[in-house]
Amino acid sequence: MTRADAQRNRQRLLAAAREVFDEQGTGAPLDEIAHRAGIGNATLYRHFANRRELALAVYAEEVDALCARGAALLDADSPAEALFTWLHDFLTNLAARRELAVLDADQPGADLSGRYARWHKAIHRTASDLLDRARAAAAVHPDVEAADLLRLTSAIALSDADPHRLLRLARHGITPAPHDR
C-alpha cells in the first residue's frame, strides 16, 4: 500500500467515524465505522490503536476546522455577527462532543494533556481575534474577555438545556441595557 492509499484510508475512516459518532456517540461500535468506510477492522486498528485515538483524531480535525472558520470570519462584514456565528459553531461542536470529556477522564495520558493544551490555545487565539475585532467596533462590552466567552459557552454546552437559546440570552443580556448596568 502506498502512502497515498494509507492517507486516503485514514481520511475515509475519519469521515465515517464523524458520521457514526454524530449518530450514536463516541461509544459507537468501531466495526460499524470500518464497515461504513469500506475498510477492514485490521486496517482501522493499524491507523487508530483504540477508540480514544480515533475519537481524538476526529476532534483534532474539528478543532482545525473551527479555527479555520474563525479565521475566515475575520473578513465578515459584521464583527458581532462573526463572533457569535463562531461561538454558536463552537457550542454545537462542544455539545456534540461532550462525551469526549468522559472518555478522557477514564483514560488519562501524558500526550493527551499536551494535545488538549494545544487545542485550548488554538481555540483561545481564534476567539481572541474575533473578540478584538468586535471590541474595536464597540460591538461587545469592553470588559468581556475571551476566557469569559469560552467558559460561558462551555458551561452552556454541557447543560441539558437548549444551548443556543441560552447563548442568545447571554449575548443580549437578561436585562435591557444600559439603564440597569
Q: What residue ranges bind its own copies (CB under 8 A)?
A: 80, 138-141, 144, 147-149, 151-152, 154-156, 158-161, 165-166, 169-178, 180-181
In the complex with its own copies, which residue's Cβ is closer, 118 or 141?
141
In the complex with its own copies, which residue's Cβ is closer, 37 or 130?
130
Q: Residue 132 to residues 70, 141, 144: CA-CA distances in angstroms? A: 13, 11, 10
In the complex with its own copies, which residue's Cβ is closer, 44 or 83?
83
| 143 C-beta neighbours (distance < 10 Å), count | 7
**Minimum distance, C-beta of residue 88 to its own copies, in the bound complex (Å):** 13
Q: Are the CB atoms for 126 and 87 separated by under 8 Å?
A: no
Distance of CA 135 to the CA centre of its chain: 23
Give me 166's grid cell.
441560552
Q: How far apart are CA 150 and CA 91, in angstroms?
A: 9
Eight-state DSSP code of residue 107: S
**Minimum distance, C-beta of residue 54 to its own copies, in the bound complex (Å):** 27
In the complex with its own copies, which residue's Cβ is closer, 118 or 165?
165
In the complex with its own copies, which residue's Cβ is closer, 8 or 165?
165
**Minimum distance, C-beta of residue 70 to its own copies, in the bound complex (Å):** 16
**Minimum distance, C-beta of residue 173 to its own copies, in the bound complex (Å):** 2
Q: Which of 34, 83, 89, 99 is nearest to 65 (CA)?
A: 89
**Minimum distance, C-beta of residue 128 to its own copies, in the bound complex (Å):** 14
Q: Which of 127, 128, 103, 129 is nearest to 116 (CA)?
A: 103
**Minimum distance, C-beta of residue 98 to its own copies, in the bound complex (Å):** 12
Q: Are the CB atoms for 82 and 133 separated by under 8 Å?
A: yes
In the complex with its own copies, which residue's Cβ is closer, 38 or 173?
173
